[in-house]
Amino acid sequence: MKLTFHSTANVGEKTIDAKVQHRVVSCDGSYILLLEIISVRNLLENPMTAKSLPATAPSRRSVVAASAVFAGMLALTGCGAGSPSSSGTAAPQSEKAGGNLEKVSVGLIPITDVAPVYLGVQEGYFEEEGLELDVQLAQGGAAIVPAVMTGDYQFGYSNVVSLLVAQDKGLPITVVSNGSTSTNEPGKDTTEVAAMPDSGIGNAAALVGKTVAVNALNNFADITIRNSVEKAGGDPKGVKFVEMPYPNMPAALERGDVDAVWTTEPFRTQILKAGGKIVASPMTDMAENFDSAFYFTSKQTLEKNPELVERFRRALEKSFDFAGKNEDKVRAIIQDYAKVTPDLAGSIVMSKWYKDVNMDALKKLGTAAKEYDVLKKNPDYDALIAK
């Protein structure tokens, strides 16, 4: 993946190469690159196949700045969920597209929660703000964060914990809008823990000693599930987590490869139709009106182009409002971008969409993330949320 460092961390408008020493270590099926940056000139096209570069001595300041940002991004993605996909609704590669429309790249996950963005494009809300969206798809927010940091995307969608982890590692991210919110209905939420009827799992406490598939380790699922287990009287350290993409979970659960799965729509309803059952609702256990994901950008983008951020926010707000009032439109559009069948689209549970972040719920999540050792420091909420 091409990484272009801008003025963040005082690197400047440069593309840099990092000559590295590297080793690979396992992380429950994923891999982390541990890098020592030796010299800096132009950026690596692929860190896994680093080649020796001509010895061009950079300034000490450039090496230190580049090392900090580069190492932070690799640490973030080491145990994350996948990488950005090359698929998407690509616009012509120019700064302005469609006449006076400004092309803006947005990293999304192909799940039902992002339906308002697609509806906003369809209804012309982004065009009203002078924006043409170039949607790029990824498996998870942990893969989208580095792409936003490097300027490949101007905006991204990520679960809240990936953004807290990014801030914890010193990456300059800033939340510009809420993304999606819990239904507040245990057993009828968009993201829950499911198991088969013969699993012997009846509630969150029964997950102790079991293997649970999650889409990303040491992230959103781990924290919220452990919180549910602890609230139910179980040992939060007694659950074994394994990483697995959401689409693979229904079949893995049916085969018995895992005891339970942390599943989101449309896969949640797919599991229920195959005979599965909901055994825990971690988001409703965490807080009322719990926000699961946010839209975000880099602090550099916010500082250099606040007017762009405001236009994106306004379009999102209109899109949220439209989605909340037009459930039939939501159920129709997810059949397109999320490849959901008409039958499944008619029965899945929908998120709620509110523009404002629930700060009380966010702080409960941050406290739990620190308690369960996902974060090293207490989050700086004021710095995280753009004013």
pLDDT of residue 214: 95
Tell me the pLDDT of the chain (387 aa) as tens digits.
Answer: 333 333 333 333 333 333 333 333 323 333 233 333 323 333 323 332 333 333 334 444 444 444 444 445 444 544 343 333 434 443 333 344 456 899 999 999 888 899 999 999 999 999 999 999 999 988 666 778 999 999 999 999 999 999 999 999 999 999 999 999 999 999 999 899 999 999 999 999 999 999 999 988 988 999 999 999 999 999 999 999 999 988 899 999 999 999 999 999 889 999 999 999 999 999 999 999 999 999 999 999 999 999 999 999 999 999 999 999 999 999 999 999 888 899 989 999 999 999 899 999 999 999 999 999 999 999 999 999 988
324, 374: one domain: yes
171, 203: one domain: no
pLDDT of residue 57: 40
pLDDT of residue 226: 96
186 assigned to some structural domain: no
On whether the CB atoms of residues 189 and 360 are closer than 8 A, the answer is no
CA dist list (Å): 283 to 23, 129, 224, 262, 289: 37, 33, 7, 11, 9
Cα radius of gyration rounded to whole Å, the chain: 21
Number of domains into which the chain is organized: 3
Residue count (the chain): 387
39, 55: one domain: yes
294, 170: one domain: yes
Domain stop point among 40, 60, 77 = 77
2 assigned to some structural domain: no
171, 302: one domain: yes
pLDDT of residue 59: 41
280, 243: one domain: yes
Domain stop point among 20, 45, 77 = 77
pLDDT of residue 295: 97
The SS3 assignment for 204 reads helix
236, 94: one domain: no
Domain stop point among 253, 286, 319 = 286
278, 341: one domain: no
On whether the CB atoms of residues 300 and 6 are closer than 8 A, the answer is yes
pLDDT of residue 102: 95
378 assigned to some structural domain: yes
- For 377, residues 6+ apart whose C-beta sits below 8 A from its C-beta are 168, 370
The CATH number of whichever domain residue 347 belongs to comes to 3.40.190.10
107, 224: one domain: no
352 assigned to some structural domain: yes
Q: What is the pLDDT of residues 97-154, one digit of tens each?
A: 456 899 999 999 888 899 999 999 999 999 999 999 999 988 666 778 999 999 999 9
Q: Work out the number of other CB atoms within 10 angstroms of the CB of residue 90.
A: 12
Cα–Cα dist 342/327, whole Å: 14
331, 254: one domain: no
Q: Work out the number of other CB atoms within 10 angstroms of the CB of residue 272.
A: 18
39 assigned to some structural domain: yes
249, 336: one domain: no
Domain that holds residue 16: 8-77
Annotate 180-196 with b (16+ C-beta within 10 A) or e (fewer). bbbbeeeeebbbbbbbb
pLDDT of residue 90: 35
